């Protein structure tokens, strides 16, 4: 578990995207080992907790499980502040279908970040 937590990078991703009709992507995500090979012990932990074995997670359900798994070790993650942000905003950022949705998502992040 410590190996998983130590390599977990939780963050709110804000980037340009051709996949989205608005041209932007705003979402919580967790990147585990980047391009490095994932150790077998971590693979076992992910599988035993019902998570698919992958290096990037962005689905609300998957992030919730990862947050629960790493809660006791959040200070050991690569970005502890990112862990808190993902914990706070997971499932709260609206889907981006229109340009107004981008403004709304950024407003949610801005307003609640001020409260941190």
For the chain, the first-to-last Cα distance in angstroms comes to 27
Cβ-contact 28, 90 below 8 angstroms: yes
Each residue's pLDDT tens digit, 18-74: 877 778 788 899 999 988 899 999 999 999 999 999 999 999 999 999 999 999 999
CATH number at residue 56: 3.10.28.10
Containing structural domain, residue 49: 2-115
Tell me the pTM. 0.82
Looking at the 3D structure of the chain, how many domains does it have?
1
């Amino acid at each position: 578990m410590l190996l998983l937590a130590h390599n977990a990078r939780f963050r709110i991703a804000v980037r340009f995207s051709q996949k989205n009709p608005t041209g932007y992507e705003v979402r919580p995500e967790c990147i585990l080992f980047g391009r490095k090979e994932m150790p077998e012990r971590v693979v076992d932990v992910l599988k035993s907790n019902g998570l698919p074995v992958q290096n990037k997670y962005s689905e609300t359900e998957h992030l919730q499980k990862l947050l629960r798994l790493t809660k006791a070790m959040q200070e050991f993650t690569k970005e502890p502040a990112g862990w808190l942000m993902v914990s706070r905003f997971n499932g709260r950022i609206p889907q981006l279908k229109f340009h107004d949705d981008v403004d709304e998502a950024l407003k949610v992040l801005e307003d609640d970040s001020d409260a941190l």
